[in-house]
Amino acid sequence: MIKAQSVRKVFGSVTVLDSVDLTVAPGEVVSILGSSGSGKSTLIRCINGLERLDGGSITVDDFDVSKPKELAEARKRSGTVFQMFNLYPHMTALQNVTLAPVEVLKRPKAEAEAEGRALLASVGLGDRADAFPSQLSGGQRQRVGICRALAMKPRYLLLDEVTSALDPEMTADVLDILAKLAKEGTTMVFVTHEIEFARTISSRVVFLEKGRLVVDLPTEQFFAADGGLANPRIAQFLSKMRKD
Ligand SMILES: Nc1ncnc2c1ncn2[C@@H]1O[C@H](COP(=O)(O)OP(=O)(O)O)[C@@H](O)[C@H]1O
Ligand SMILES: [Mg+2]
């Protein structure tokens, strides 16, 4: 379980996250929606222990990300994929995928490589394992990024706008993979602007507005006229997203 309680994050004089409560149970797919600047990425970064909290707490399977001794355990449980793929340019796709399992989890190299190849094959990159990032398209790189996170066998997958830098065709390829992962029961926290996709794969949708988590509803209710849509800010946000 990922549990954020009364989370507060301040940058300078700006409160970026304010009293945020969010619980994600194993098996859930939770989409985080909200305008640009509402704090979505900061929340993901806080869950992953990349930002220090200014208040409240976040635990991942009861490991407190604010406690240095517990952070490593918390991080083992959550894998993060960011908008920018951040692959190591001097390593092949396979090397990018196997680096952490070998270095961090101390997995035998041959075993990690066999698993890495299987992962890459599962996202349609079986024949690109030995390519360098510069030889891959953006969509292929993002699929490698997803494999790199999955190689650590995280219980929770955190995805921050993983398709926003991709063209529509590549976006579709990546969303197909995420849909497959959701179907297999992967727990996901998913920041996205792909509203229709979020609606299809999420069990719950939360909406952040200016650092406050204002709505947290089962997907169907979020998109219902008397549910999330009754909030004028959400209605406005959704209609704008659909026009873009
Ligand atoms: N490292 C940082 N230093 C200062 N301000 C930041 C930093 N990271 C994010 N912010 C600010 O925090 C707010 C929320 O940002 P972010 O979490 O990236 O929003 P979102 O992902 O929803 O677009 C924005 O106003 C942004 O400018
Ligand atoms: Mg963001």
Q: Average pLDDT over the chain, rounded to whole?
A: 93
pLDDT for 48 equals: 92
Which bound ligand lies closest to the C-alpha atom of 15? Answer: 1
- Pocket probe for ligand 1: among 10, 14, 16, 237, the residue whose CB has the most ligand atoms within 8 Å is 16
Q: Whose CA is nearest to atom 24 of ligand 1?
A: 37
- Nearest partner of 166 among 244, 238, 45, 85, judged by Cα: 85
Expressed as residue numbers, the domain containing 71 is 2-87+157-243
Task: For residues 95 and 130, give the distance between their C-alpha atoms in angstroms, rounded to a whole number.
Answer: 8
User: What pLDDT shows up at residue 242?
Assistant: 77
Q: What is the pLDDT of residue 170?
A: 82
| Average pLDDT along the chain, 244 residues, taken 10 residues at a time | 98 96 96 96 95 97 96 91 85 96 94 95 93 93 91 93 84 88 91 91 96 96 92 92 74
**Cα end-to-end distance, the chain, whole Å:** 35
**Residue 108 included in any domain:** no
> What integer pLDDT is reported at residue 244 of this predicted model?
63
Tell whether ligand 1 has an atom less than 6 A from the beta carbon of residue 11.
yes
- The pLDDT score that the predictor gives to residue 85 is 66
For ligand 2, the distance from its centroid to the CA atom of residue 126, given in whole angstroms, is 31
Helix (H) or strand (E) holding 200: helix 195-201
Answer whether residue 31 is part of any domain: yes
CB 186 less than 6 A from any atom of ligand 1: no
Structure tokens at 71: 């952070």
Sort strands 204-209 and 212-218 into parallel, antiparallel or unpaired. antiparallel
Q: How far is the CA of 97 from the centre of ligand 1 (A)?
A: 29
CATH number at residue 23: 3.40.50.300
Transcribe 81-110 into DSSP letters: E-SS----TTS-HHHHHHHHHHHTS---HH
Pairing of strands 156-160, 204-209: unpaired
For residue 2, which of 212, 155, 209 has the smallest C-alpha distance?
Answer: 155
- The span from the CA of 190 to the CA of 168, in Å, is 18
Per-residue model confidence (pLDDT) at position 168: 84
Distance 108 CA to ligand 2 centre (A): 36
Using N-to-C axis directions, what is the helix angle for 93-103 and 138-150, rounded to 10°?
Answer: 20
Residue 134 CB–ligand 1 contact under 6 Å: no
Whether 39 is in the pocket of ligand 1, judged by its Cβ within 6 Å, is yes
Number of domains in the chain: 1
Distance (Å) of CA 3 to CA 147, 177, 188: 25, 26, 14
Percent of the chain with pLDDT over 90: 74
Beta bridge partners of 81: 159
Assess if residue 191 is contained within a domain.
Answer: yes
5, β-bridge pairs: 57
Q: pLDDT tens digit string along 153-198?
A: 899 999 999 888 788 888 888 898 889 888 888 999 999 988 989 9
On whether residue 149 sits in a domain, the answer given is no
Query: Atom 1, ligand 1: which residue's CA is nearest?
Result: 11
Instruction: Tell me, yes or no, whether 29 lies in a domain.
Output: yes
Compute the distance from residue 213 Cα to the ligand 2 centre, in Å.
15
Which residues hold their Cβ within 5 A of ligand 2, which is an ion? 40-41
Q: Is the CB of 37 under 6 A from ligand 1?
A: yes
Give a yes or no: residue 229 inside a domain.
yes
Q: Evaluate: CB of 88 within 6 angstroms of ligand 1.
A: no
What distance in Å separates the CA atoms of residue 91 and residue 76, rounded to the nearest whole number?
A: 22
Is residue 128 assigned to a domain? no
Which positions ≥6 away from 205 have C-beta within 8 Å?
A: 30, 31, 33, 198, 199, 215, 216, 217, 218, 219, 222, 223, 228
- The predicted pLDDT at position 171 comes to 86
Pair 27, 1: CB distance under 8 Å: no
Find the ligand nearest to 161 CA: 2
Query: Is 186 inside a domain boundary?
Result: yes
